[in-house]
Amino acid sequence: MKFYKYQGAGNDIILINNLQDKIEESQKAELAKRYCKRHFSIGADGIMILENSEEYDAKMRFFNPDGSEGEMCGNAIRCFAKHIYERGINKKKELNIDTIAGVKRTWLTVKNGEVKNVKVDMGKPLIKNQNLILHVKGIPMKIFSLEVGVPHAVLIVNDLVRLKVNELGKDIRNNPIFPKGTNVNFLQQLGKNRFKIRTYERGVEGETLACGTGICASGSSAVLLGLADADKPIEIEAEGGKILVEFTKIGEELETVFMSGPSEFIYEGEI
């Protein structure tokens, strides 16, 4: 089977082309569990499967390393759009991609045939709870709970360097208040509309170098908490790279969040 390896802000993803429907539904979760294993296989933060869409330009299915299917992945969808364009599957510079979280519009910046940047309409951030207090390791923590395609918890912190992301993230991710689990984002403000982030990802069950939906959720939280100006781009720096977040509003309410950033083809092979 042929595969393609990409990364977006350090999130490394395996892409498998299933436009010919050769991979059966029962096999997809097992492929993710098998091929995402680091040291024993290709190794990745997830697998995206390219499929046909009846209504849109293509369909993206995303599976986590534990075999669970994710509704969306922000860094993966940028890589997905790059693959579709550069491999000649669809040469439009505006692609509508079907996902479990709904259709996602993407805009491609292309130079000399290479996709340099992808902007994604991530939809409306859905606020669940702005003042949630959880006791983690006996310490009360204020958490902003919301969804940007997938569930996220956002915590504002003063020092990311010393933070025990895996330890704290695991406790919050598995708290019974989140029946489907949640991704956990720790956000530190560097300046006006500038932040750093570290994320514990559900499905990976550990910290990753970046999480696109988590960056969008964290940018949304920063605006709603008065830490950032929604009328200007917000720069969020993950361990694997920087992503820009922008918004449209209706009055003071956030209507749409956009994510912009690069993606990189690493290599292709057969397994």
114 and 180 in a single domain? The answer is no
Residue-level pLDDT at 160 = 95
Residue-level pLDDT at 138 = 84
- Spatial CA neighbour of 57 closest among 88, 110, 98: 98
Based on the structure, what is the number of domains in the chain?
Answer: 2
Separation of alpha carbons 195 and 45, rounded Å:
23
Separation of alpha carbons 110 and 261, rounded Å:
13
Please report how many Cα atoms fall inside a 13 Å half-sphere around the Cα of residue 8, on the Cβ side.
Answer: 33
DSSP structural state of residue 121: E
84 and 141 in a single domain? The answer is no
61 and 114 in a single domain? The answer is yes
The string of DSSP codes covering 175-223 is -TTSTT--EEEEEEEEETTEEEEEEEETTTTEEES--HHHHHHHHHHHH
pLDDT tens across 189-227, in order?
Answer: 999 899 999 999 999 999 999 999 999 999 999 999 999
DSSP structural state of residue 68: P
105 and 176 in a single domain? The answer is no
CB 212 within 8 A of CB 131: no
Residue-level pLDDT at 89 = 97
How deeply is 20 buried, as exposed, middle or buried, from its count of CB atoms within 10 A (0-12, 13-18, 19+)? exposed
Residue range of the domain that includes 52: 2-121+263-270
109 and 136 in a single domain? The answer is no
Q: Which CATH number fits the domain that encloses residue 241?
A: 3.10.310.10
25 and 102 in a single domain? The answer is yes
CB 145 within 8 A of CB 128: yes
Separation of alpha carbons 153 and 169, rounded Å:
9
User: Residues 6 or more apart from 123 whose CB is under 8 A from it?
Assistant: 101, 102, 104, 148, 149, 256, 257
256 and 131 in a single domain? The answer is yes
133 and 100 in a single domain? The answer is no
The residues of the chain scoring below 50 in pLDDT are none
User: Residues 6 or more apart from 148 whose CB is under 8 A from it?
Assistant: 74, 122, 123, 125, 126, 213, 216, 217, 220, 257
160 and 113 in a single domain? The answer is no
Secondary structure of residue 120 in the 3-state scheme: strand
131 and 254 in a single domain? The answer is yes
191 and 84 in a single domain? The answer is no
Tally of CB atoms within 10 A around 26: 7
Separation of alpha carbons 69 and 85, rounded Å:
25
Residue-level pLDDT at 136 = 87
Catalytic residue, from 36, 79, 211, 216: name it.
Answer: 211
Buried b / exposed e over 221-237, threshold 16 CB at 10 Å, is bbbbeebbebeeebbbb
Residue 79 falls in the annotated catalytic set: no
Separation of alpha carbons 242 and 23, rounded Å:
34
Residue 211 falls in the annotated catalytic set: yes
Residue-level pLDDT at 23 = 94
Kindly state the tokens that stand for 136. 């983690």
76 and 140 in a single domain? The answer is no
Kindly state the tokens that stand for 261. 């950033």
Residue-level pLDDT at 252 = 81
Residue-level pLDDT at 139 = 86
Separation of alpha carbons 263 and 210, rounded Å:
12
